Structure 1
């Protein structure tokens, strides 16, 4: 078996699989996490934050649909930035994506532990998180198709549960819970409150952009990737508005702002703790969290695999299982880091680091689209983003605004995020830039294009 074969993933995914994975990796945001921004935003402020972040993600989704068909590699955002702005910016973008998903995994695991602990108080939440990590690492080592089948079941159960909550809850919404009683401010923290809520509103969409990392495992990425990305994004926009409106409308925002299980808490506030739907959400609601947790493991493993394959990270992370063709070391080793984070950090603080890393990659992706349109106008683009350059510019501006939201939410973790990138940049100049692998698909593709450019003048000379 050749070295090139040893670096190739298996192509099995269809547009339906992509939609399932895209919705599945994000859907836990409806069950846990978004509510931590309510104390400063209230319903109206959160709805504005959701709208702003929804626009940012929707516009970016059109851009990554174009980029994923032109550059169909497992590196996703890293690959786009590498092509547009060179290896250093590609590396920084990859670190942002890696940070986003490695940190997101323990956040979702904490939510899973909280739901299980609610149902079975004797079960330690950290033990629950550890069991989830081990089980889903094993599933991902078995193969992406096996994961996609399991994910489809989880996603449809989670979606059915949300729809059930909407039908039961919508008629019982109280207007004063949404807009406040007379004399109360509709947005407790004002403009700063909305700004501080942006990272938590992102949690309702965060990770849909991971789908391009599955390009090398998609049967026909040039046709299927835009279908999967855009259908997934449309689904998430609808869910985000309905979930926030129903949950806050049932209970108000004060109680939900600190709840580790916001949907059961919202139903319980309106109908009582023993109401059947509260119990169902507390139990079956785990399915949504588990669906996202599994998807996050898939995302971080593919980004780490891609960076390792290109030489930016140690080669151990790009080792593939000899039979399953899955990056097992990129699945296992970050899982242990996640377990440490579960044990020692609060989820609302970890969300700020995950969203900071994500926003760095979003800025880079939108910039990559603009640069590649100008730098390589003849690059084959089976799908082209509409309303160019309006969409990528607006998405990039909103990402820049959201980047500083953690400054208002928690200044300490803003500087922690800055420090992580500082260490990563130092690592790049000391080690990574000296170990770039010319055999990685992204590097080979770039080199092929450069050779063709240099070959054109020679061909012209010979023809003369």
Structure 2
């Protein structure tokens, strides 16, 4: 194995665990912030639209990951299809998505810990989480996957327990009546406002192609991990939002920093055993996502650095563990600084903006490569092509409009990040690309037989 390549250890179950684990915190935090404008019905519509967008995108990235089984994932796809600049911008979108998502989830972790232990500040709790999971990721991805499996199973068990206890007590009037008797209080605009928060229930599943370089059999296992994870998340999204709103109502849920404990406490009382359990064990769901987010942004930073779009020191690997320790540690320090200055509901908009940029370019990559290089070896092909990627692109554009409507200031902040990245690319990045990096070597190699041979070795 090359000195600058990652270990191949992951199987389908571990991919499912990582995919569900990185997203599962969306059930415990963040999805509820748009409820005053959308109501339950508007939120449900937003969830369904975003589920279609993610599912159709998952079809496409499952195909692309068998063609380009590298840690670059989204960057690699867009680089092959549309050139180095679009590849770089896609990678920046992915980094922005997960880096900001990490700060949001860390705030949630701190809020839950502060609820349980009032003497511990949110910042201190977040710092402890960053340090602990940075160490776990430096030790190795296989060790992380084992720990993540335990966290995900506990989180899923707790959610299922909540469903069994809570569903008999749902008040349908709280679902159907809405605020002031309106099903969707702000109409179509309310649905748009809910979309960035509905994304929070799925955001992150698309990181699995970044695990391709660490997957034992990409051509068979990647699509299984992505699609089973997506189905799991859709079921959880529908059940969690239905139960929480049905127990507590829209107004109670709309600003809750701990929506599930609050929902159960509203229906059964603060001292009810399940409310206490959700406030304590529910923390595990946030921790599961937080640890997965560190994995995601470290792999994209590592890949862009290995190709020298970003400074080379960011792709340094641990001599023994073969893990990108700088790409893990440095963003964690920066994330702690961001926590001090911003609210999570605003940061969610920045994370979803970065994600949507990468979603559009990844879906475009599926279409462009089908036309540009139809003979590439594809062990998995996108169902419903070309309808699936086109529909996913349309929904991503609608979600970008929703992001604009929700908070104009943070929309411009997000655009500003990409403007700075563009200046950096043309001033430095494009002149320092490492042609020997695996992603770049693959892109330069136009021999279909060589491509097939390289895929067969994964």
TM-score band by shorter chain is over 0.9
Rate the CA distance shift 1:256–1:452 in 2: closer, same or farther, 3 A.
same
1:42 pairs with 39, 64, 67, which one? 39
Q: Deviations over 1:378-425 (max 9, x none)?
A: 000000011100000000100011012122111100100011100000
Q: Deviations over 1:18-57 (max 9, x none)?
A: 0000000000000001011112111100000000000000
Structure 2 counterpart of 1:219:
216
2:163 pairs with 159, 162, 166, which one? 166
1 CA distance for matches of 2:413 and 2:388?
A: 31
Structure 2 unaligned blocks of 5 or more: 451-458
Structure 1 counterpart of 2:404:
407
The answer to whether 1:193 aligns with 2:207 is no
Which has the larger displacement, 35-44 or 82-91?
35-44
The answer to whether 1:357 aligns with 2:357 is no
Structure-to-structure mapping, 1:91-130, within 5 angstroms: 91-130=88-127
**Structure 1 counterpart SS, 2:142:** helix
Q: Deviations over 1:413-448 (max 9, x none)?
A: 010001110000010000000010001101111122
The answer to whether 1:27 aligns with 2:24 is yes
Q: Deviations over 1:88-122 (max 9, x none)?
A: 00000000001000100010000001111111111
**Moved runs in structure 1, 4+ residues, more than 3 A?**
450-453
- Asked if structure 1 preserves the Cα contact closer than 8 Å seen for 2:101 and 2:347, the reply is yes
- Asked if structure 1 preserves the Cα contact closer than 8 Å seen for 2:195 and 2:399, the reply is yes
1:297 pairs with 294, 298, 302, which one? 294
2:65 pairs with 62, 65, 68, which one? 68
Structure 2 counterpart of 1:331:
328
1:184 pairs with 178, 181, 185, which one? 181
Q: Deviations over 1:145-177 (max 9, x none)?
A: 000000000000000000001111111000111
2 CA distance for matches of 1:260 and 1:351?
A: 13
Structure 2 counterpart of 1:239:
236
**Structure 2 counterpart SS, 1:260:** coil
Structure 2 counterpart of 1:459:
none
What is the aligned length?
450
- Asked if structure 1 preserves the Cα contact closer than 8 Å seen for 2:375 and 2:448, the reply is no
Which has the larger displacement, 440-449 or 347-356?
440-449
Which has the larger displacement, 4-13 or 412-421?
4-13
**Structure 1 counterpart SS, 2:304:** helix
- Asked if structure 1 preserves the Cα contact closer than 8 Å seen for 2:219 and 2:380, the reply is yes
Q: Deviations over 1:239-286 (max 9, x none)?
A: 000000000000001111111100000000000000000000000000
**Structure 1 counterpart SS, 2:445:** helix
TM-score by length of structure 2 reads: 0.97
**Structure 2 counterpart SS, 1:404:** helix
**Structure 1 counterpart SS, 2:291:** helix
- Asked if structure 1 preserves the Cα contact closer than 8 Å seen for 2:308 and 2:432, the reply is yes
Structure 2 counterpart of 1:387:
384
Q: Deviations over 1:205-263 (max 9, x none)?
A: 00000000000000011110000000000000000000000000000011111111000
2 CA distance for matches of 1:41 and 1:112?
A: 26
**Structure 1 counterpart SS, 2:183:** coil
Structure 2 counterpart of 1:87:
84
2 CA distance for matches of 1:182 and 1:393?
A: 35
Structure 1 counterpart of 2:153:
156
**Structure 1 counterpart SS, 2:340:** helix
1 CA distance for matches of 2:333 and 2:180?
A: 50
Structure 2 counterpart of 1:133:
130
